Structure 1
């Protein structure tokens, strides 16, 4: 899949460093779904989709859901439909995404599928995250380059570079794959129509946004009912001025909150495993039994040295139970014998997750 490189070699030589073109990364690749099935998915309100049309008068963007009547004719050139998070709705897409788990789950995001007519694309742009671009059907011409000028076109509903300067050009056929590090500008244009590209994207948390989410979660759990007091406050002629003592009180509150390292670890795990906004889980149709099981494709599960995190919740774990849960998180499945040998508390927790729809039982032997 990585052009003869091991995962370790790829990460050392290319990850966040330089692009890699891999011819026939997936030899004899068979698309995961038909064009009709993709169009039907784009019409589903539970699925995130977009329509981008390039017209003589400029670019047009429409957010989904996208019924078939909203799409241009297939032979009309210059349009693209993008369906985000296909791995959340299709087992085959989820399995394909798992091939990229040589990168930590905390960084792996989703699989997007784009379909384009002749000349269709989204314009020259750059992403703030890593991406693998796998050609599924048809051909797409990619122009890529290290972009210094990141200025964007004005008055356009897309983030399109105003001065794109490509350095390389590659035409990808089905099964070919192109890896691009963050901020490598790229412009992909469909050649000949009926072009579908699978994009494996990665999460790159923004420092300020992540800090805000962590503080909100930690504050909810923080137990400190101390009230601000100012017995030495004197009468003031400038009542609108912020009291220095109140600033010091606020600073101390934040330092105390951040000093709780365990609370910070829990908040980070909960944030990174929080399901996406449009995700919900189905109630199980069968009864719980201690046998082989696997995580639902929508479930996010991670761990650190002291905790297990699943779908925005955290649990303390140690000993054999911790090893069991870490195996489940890494493999995304457990053998029946290991489930049966688990402690009563671990089995109770697994049953709770099963009843929440977070994991599924394998068929009985």
Structure 2
């Protein structure tokens, strides 16, 4: 799917992380990529994150999946919503919805959550700490958009749902199939289904907090530190007051921390691994039958293309000196010479065709073989 009338440059300048934007069906052709019964089928599967939100007489009930396969028969025809996370991992047609939004870097894209709501169903007024594009798949939903919220905004008491106790709409939009509503971080919003068969696709973006970055970066550093790397002061002098922690000691102690944390190259390598780690690391995507090099060569010589696993994350960092660093699912692969163009192509597009130079490169072939057998790549089923 592609856009026909979406000004990306204007959007980034005027709206991205600034203000909401409603787009009236900007697609060249829109079709809903998933049926409600397919979404329900995912919600009953082990290992797939799903939730059921039910509103009844002013109260909110939340159930976590996997849901019993007969649960939907008991829900009635109004005031409930099914949400399934990371549907793009399992349905290629849903993963394709991300492609037009690749003007945002790969590492910022999280996943596609899909919701199905009965008439008047919704999840209540709330705000997110990340950007989201809300694509109406089928049916209608009325979105009301309010002002900016933060951690001090008052919430309705609930153990799991973060719903606003006070919500005042400033704008209202009726979303029909193909329409898109962009919501920046912190902006309150509330969507309610208008009629049956309301499906919405939420493309969410990751925004690591400062505390997350510091905490995970420090954890990584600590794992590599030696216990005998300790404070030393061979030039110590007698102080007038032994109770004082001298400026010289503070400087030396502070340097012990900042020298490690200030290593930009080490941080870049760590962040590439951290940001490309799989959303659900417990899922094993490796193929049942390992690909062997002779079979790989034959398929590539026949012109077979390679497709990325939608659940895999690809990104890279250029270093000032040294090889390009390719990050795939939390692993670092150093790429030099003939591997560089291939690595860049992998990160730029979901499907890659290998040229003649690359099929003659042992380094490129070994990389392809490794990624195929890890389940990060697969032969394009079209071929």
Taking structure 1 as the reference length, the TM-score comes to: 0.88
Question: Is residue 350 of structure 1 aligned with residue 368 of structure 2?
Answer: yes
User: Deviation at 1:221?
Assistant: 4.3
User: Deviation at 1:328?
Assistant: 1.4
Deviation sequence 1:248-270 (CA, Å, 0-9, x none) = 77633322212332211110100
Deviation sequence 1:93-142 (CA, Å, 0-9, x none) = 11111221111111111111111111111111111111111111111111
C-alpha contact (below 8 Å) 1:139/1:172 kept by paired residues:
yes
Partner of 2:65: 64
Question: Is residue 203 of structure 1 aligned with residue 221 of structure 2?
Answer: no
C-alpha contact (below 8 Å) 1:219/1:257 kept by paired residues:
no
2:195 to 172, 177, 192: 192
Partner of 1:280: 284
User: Deviation at 1:310?
Assistant: 0.9
Partner of 2:132: 131
Stretches of structure 2 lacking an aligned partner (at least 5 in a row): 320-324
Count of aligned pairs: 361
Mapping of residues 1-365 of structure 1, within 5 Å: 4-26=5-27, 29-56=30-57, 58-71=59-72, 73=74, 75-147=76-148, 150-155=153-158, 157-221=160-224, 225-228=228-231, 251-277=254-280, 278-283=282-287, 285=289, 286-288=291-293, 289-290=296-297, 291=300, 292-306=305-319, 307-338=325-356, 340-341=358-359, 343-362=361-380
CA–CA distance in structure 2, aligned partners of residues 354 and 339 of structure 1: 20
CA–CA distance in structure 2, aligned partners of residues 206 and 46 of structure 1: 26
C-alpha contact (below 8 Å) 1:141/1:191 kept by paired residues:
yes
Cα separation, partners in 2 of 1:246 and 1:77, compared to 1, 3 Å? farther
Where has structure 1 moved over 4 Å in runs of 4 or more? 221-225, 228-234, 242-250
C-alpha contact (below 8 Å) 1:75/1:118 kept by paired residues:
no
User: Deviation at 1:21?
Assistant: 0.9
CA–CA distance in structure 2, aligned partners of residues 114 and 309 of structure 1: 31
- The alignment's C-alpha RMSD in Å is 2.9
CA–CA distance in structure 2, aligned partners of residues 68 and 25 of structure 1: 36
